[in-house]
Structure 1
Amino acid sequence: MFKIAVRQLSAVRRYSTATKIDSEALDKWISSPSHEVAFEDSFRSEHLSNLYITLPTRDGTRKPYQEPKDGSPLGYGHHLVFFHSRVPESQLRENGTEPGFSPPKPFSRRMWAGGKITWDPENPLIIGNKATARSTFASIEKKGFEDPQKDPMLVVTQKIDITMKGMQKPSVTEERSHVYLSTADTKKAAREVRGIPTSSDFSFEYKPSLTTLFRFSALIFNGHHIHLDQEFAQKQGYPERLVHGPLTAMMLLETAVFHNPNIRISSFEYRARNPMIVNRTSTIHGTWTDKDTIDLWCVEEGGLVGMTGKVHVG
């Protein structure tokens, strides 16, 4: 039996009506989302070796370490450590995030919210090969703008197609959502997540440390201060630095494959539920709901649910 906790994240974040939103500039940005970027990258085995040694499912402590081999299919979700914007530091936002796909100020606080990844099983990404990731706006949603008691936010979703060199069809299609908050602070309790199963078929426990966060930030070329700077995280209302959303999402997939090494995943949907804090033990649970579906969820020590997901196989 799992105990799911609801705790107060912080008591230092207060709503401030002093935050000014330029509605005209924001509406113009929303109505003309013509932003499109394409990144070419190679699934280098050297870079993947750094990922493997960072992931507790692959670092050799739970099962023998295996080097990534050119010509083999890329692991599920491992494309997340490729295709990243290379922006000079002088052009980054004050919090260390890149400006691409970001709304105008004051929406500067970015959080990884969730998404969906679909794989073409007949056309997998291959280690050692080159590929292009093409990103476009999929949707932009305004929330909380009509209620003065709520912190207004924007949910920005990208559509990302990843196509190997020489191929016509994408091997991976992804929808990736970020939430952008204004600089206004608000007292906010942790979210209770309903519908979590009371038992699981398998699980994996690990503790994301400061070293884990540093290494993963380097792997994805991410300078977001929320993962690296304790003082910054505390000023944002958190007790400590936060674990990367894509790392937790990847660990959901890794746990499914760790316990079911022969599955062929066709799609994965996931949603961040609560911030995950560094140096706190996390346990990822999985349960088969039918022969083609696995429900996954990550629980932090104390019972707080950080992320939920669903894997479809076949």
Structure 2
Amino acid sequence: MTMSFRCSKTLHPIYNRRLYTSLHSSDARALDEWIAPPKQLVLSDSFTIERISDLYLTLPTRDGTKTVYNPPELSAPLPYGSHLTFFHPRNSESKLRADGTDADFCPPPPLTRRMWAGGRMTWNSRNPLRIGESAVSTSTVQSVEKKGFDKGTPMAFVKQRIEITASGQREPSVVEERSHVYIADTAVGSRVPRDVKGIPSKTDFSFTFTPSPITLFRFSALTFNGHHIHLDKDYAQSKEGYPERLVHGPLTALMLLETTMLHKPNAKLAQFDYRARNPVIVNQRMTINGVWNGDHRAFLWAVNDEGVVGMTGEVELGID
């Protein structure tokens, strides 16, 4: 993989909480200076059958436990959303932030605590990514929105646009919008789950599993992600105030797509919008539910046994 770096919807933090901190004028200036220049991150990667096999054995929809295990096949289309485990920066440990995250596309201190907020994926059915092939991902910072600076609750919402183009092709196979929220490392607040409105009372399909510490470790390894919030129980509890380690946002988003395809295996997806609502906690059973809205749209949500909704999404099928 090679790398070079050059300088929708409104998304909100995934917990209903107030964050109290202070931001000095020098910090605000540093953020403005970081926002000003254009930024681009170019990464190349290969969808090797070995890495896809590792992903299949990580996902409870594919590992053979609840369904028959079907190994990946060369030249087959890359499963929807699987690109999330590729195209990650490769930095030495010395270049990571204190919480184990990469600094690429991250605002300057003190806004260093990162939360995955949501995004959108659009697929080009004429030119799918395929197992065994290579591709290039080009990411740009599409927008940076500052919130709460006048209230002592500073946050920066960073939205990326990512175009993934197969080798030898000119037209992107996948276009993604990805949003992160950054808050101050010193921010504190209550961990009260947000009540999510508009959840359907019925389901047309579902899939239940329990994300374990091994699931989180394997997904972190696949994505070369050292974020302590997924791996270190003491850090999650003492530093960030969570009851346990958190499940990766992209893993939950991928499970929404996986559940859709498990129940409609021949579907051709056109677009997927998703939004993180509450943290998803390790060792807590989670059910992915879906309800069809007509023939070509489905509303999806991930919910635990206590009724806390971790993520919602909407998938749109292509029309042949």
Same-fold call, TM > 0.5?
yes
Tell me, yes or no, if structure 1 residue 55 matches structure 2 residue 59: yes
Aligned 8 A contact 2:43 2:87 in 1: yes
Q: Which amino acid aligns with 2:195?
A: E
Compute the displacement of 1:27 (Å).
Answer: 1.1
C-alpha change, 1:194 and 1:257, in structure 2 (3 Å) is same
Aligned 8 A contact 2:209 2:287 in 1: yes
Aligned ranges 1:103-252 → 2 under 5 Å: 103-148=107-152, 151-183=153-185, 184-234=187-237, 235-252=239-256
CA RMSD of aligned residues (A): 1.5
Tell me, yes or no, if structure 1 residue 76 matches structure 2 residue 80: yes
Instruction: Report the TM-score, using the length of structure 2 for normalisation.
Output: 0.91
Q: Which amino acid aligns with 1:307?
A: M
Partners of 1:38 and 1:31 lie apart in 2 by 19
Q: Which amino acid aligns with 1:127?
A: I
Tell me, yes or no, if structure 1 residue 29 matches structure 2 residue 34: yes
Give unpaired runs (5+ residues) of structure 1: 1-8
Aligned 8 A contact 1:56 1:206 in 2: yes
1:274 aligned to which of 259, 274, 278: 278
Partners of 1:63 and 1:207 lie apart in 2 by 15
Compute the displacement of 1:165 (Å).
Answer: 0.6
1:64 aligned to which of 53, 68, 72: 68
Aligned 8 A contact 2:21 2:154 in 1: no
Task: Give the SS at the match of 1:290.
Answer: coil
Q: Which amino acid aligns with 1:232?
A: Y
C-alpha change, 1:209 and 1:138, in structure 2 (3 Å) is same
C-alpha change, 1:14 and 1:133, in structure 2 (3 Å) is closer
Compute the displacement of 1:177 (Å).
Answer: 0.5
Compute the displacement of 1:20 (Å).
Answer: 3.7
Figure out how many residues of one structure are paired with residues of the other and give that number. Answer: 301
Partners of 1:64 and 1:189 lie apart in 2 by 39
Whose relative contact order is higher, 1 or 2, with alpha carbons under 8 Å and at least 6 apart? Answer: 1
Aligned 8 A contact 1:10 1:237 in 2: no
Q: Which amino acid aligns with 2:263?
A: H
Counterpart of 1:286 in structure 2 is 290
Aligned 8 A contact 2:191 2:241 in 1: no
Partners of 2:230 and 2:253 lie apart in 1 by 16
Partners of 1:16 and 1:79 lie apart in 2 by 36
Percent of aligned pairs sharing the same letter? 54
Partners of 2:281 and 2:236 lie apart in 1 by 10
Q: Which amino acid aligns with 1:227?
A: H
Compute the displacement of 1:14 (Å).
Answer: 6.7
Compute the displacement of 1:64 (Å).
Answer: 1.2
Task: Give the SS at the match of 1:309.
Answer: strand
Aligned 8 A contact 1:20 1:106 in 2: no
Task: Give the SS at the match of 1:232.
Answer: helix
Partners of 2:16 and 2:221 lie apart in 1 by 28
Partners of 1:206 and 1:59 lie apart in 2 by 12
C-alpha change, 1:264 and 1:23, in structure 2 (3 Å) is same
